């Protein structure tokens, strides 16, 4: 399973994903990444949005919001606004709960 958080070049490289993919690979990605993955025939792609759960290999994966509140491209323009659709992931393997936050600042959704 490969989890993708953002379509930005520093988080998402279809060429590198193809190098490590096989017939059994499942890619979990936000919609903005899916069209770039269509040419990789070896894997299954599951689209996910914030707040939704999917199952991959028997692992339940939830997408959570990610965005910037204190990093800006220019005055008042966040580098990763909430509308960008980036996600982080929460999933449980055995008794361990993992939280991959993606590219985000400390945001209100993290308090829940």
pLDDT, tens digit (0-9, with 9 covering 90-100), for 74-103: 888 888 777 777 899 999 888 899 999 888
Close Cβ partners of 100 (under 8 Å, ≥ 6 residues apart): 3, 5, 88, 89, 90
The pLDDT assigned to 100 comes to: 92
The pLDDT assigned to 89 comes to: 95
Mean pLDDT, rounded, for 44-58: 89
- Name the one residue in this structure whose structure tokens are 């994966």: 61
pLDDT band per the 50, 70, 90 thresholds, residue 112: low
Coil, strand or helix at 111: helix
CATH assignment of the domain containing 97: 3.60.15.10
Range of the structural domain that residue 43 is part of = 2-111
| Consecutive H or E run containing 34 | helix 31-37
The DSSP annotation for 35-89 comes to: HHHTT-TTSEEEE--TT-EEEETTEEEEEEE---SS-EEETTEESS-GGG--EEE
What is the Cα–Cα distance from 109 to 8, expressed in whole angstroms?
Answer: 22
Mean pLDDT, rounded, for 24-37: 88
The H helix count followed by the E strand count for the chain is 2, 9
Provide the number of structural domains found in the chain: 1
The alpha carbons of the chain give a radius of gyration, in whole angstroms, of 14
Q: What percent of the chain has pLDDT over 90?
A: 32
Work out whether strand 44-47 and strand 26-29 pair parallel, antiparallel, or are unpaired: parallel
């Amino acid at each position: 399973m490969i989890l993708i958080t953002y379509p930005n070049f520093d988080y998402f490289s279809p060429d590198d994903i193809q190098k490590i993919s096989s017939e059994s690979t499942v890619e979990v990605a936000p919609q903005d990444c899916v069209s770039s993955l269509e040419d990789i025939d070896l894997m299954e792609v599951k689209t996910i949005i914030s707040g939704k759960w999917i199952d991959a290999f028997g692992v339940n994966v939830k997408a959570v919001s990610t965005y910037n509140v204190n990093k800006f491209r220019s005055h008042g323009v966040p580098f990763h606004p909430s509308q960008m659709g980036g996600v982080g992931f929460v999933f449980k393997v055995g008794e361990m709960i993992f939280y991959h936050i993606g590219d985000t600042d400390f945001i209100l959704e993290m308090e829940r």
